[in-house]
Amino acid sequence: MSKPLMIIKTGGRAAENSGALRHLAEEIKELSRSYDFLLVHGGGAAVSAIQKTYGIEPVFKDGIRMTSEKEMDLVDMGLAGLMNKKIVRLFSSCGLLSVGISGADGSMLTGEPIGEGSRTGRITGSDRKIIDLLLQGGFTPIVSPVSSDSRGGALNINADEAALALGIACKADTIVFLSDIPGILNSGELIDRINEPEADRLIEQGIISGGMIPKVRSSLKALHEGAGTVVIGEYINQGDLNNLLKGNKGTKIWLK
Written as tens digits, the pLDDT of the chain (256 aa) is 579 999 999 987 777 788 999 999 999 999 999 999 999 999 888 899 999 999 999 998 887 899 999 999 999 999 999 999 999 999 999 999 999 999 999 999 999 999 888 999 999 999 999 999 999 999 999 999 999 999 999 999 999 899 999 999 999 999 999 988 899 999 899 999 999 999 999 999 999 998 889 889 988 988 998 888 899 999 988 999 999 999 999 999 988 7
Residue 155, C-beta contacts closer than 8 angstroms, at least 6 positions apart: 72, 103, 111, 112, 113, 119, 120, 121, 146, 147, 148, 149
Indicate which CATH number applies to the domain containing 139: 3.40.1160.10
Q: How many domains does the chain have?
A: 1
Cα distances (Å, whole numbers) of residue 12 to 131, 221, 235: 24, 22, 10
Give the range of the structural domain holding residue 44, as residue numbers without chain letter.
5-253
User: Tell me, what's the pLDDT at 1?
Assistant: 53
Cα distances (Å, whole numbers) of residue 231 to 137, 174, 219: 28, 8, 8
Identity of the amino acid at 164: L
Crossing angle for the helix pair 84-93 and 18-31, to the nearest 10 degrees = 60
Identify the three-state secondary structure at position 251: strand
CA distance 28 to 174: 13
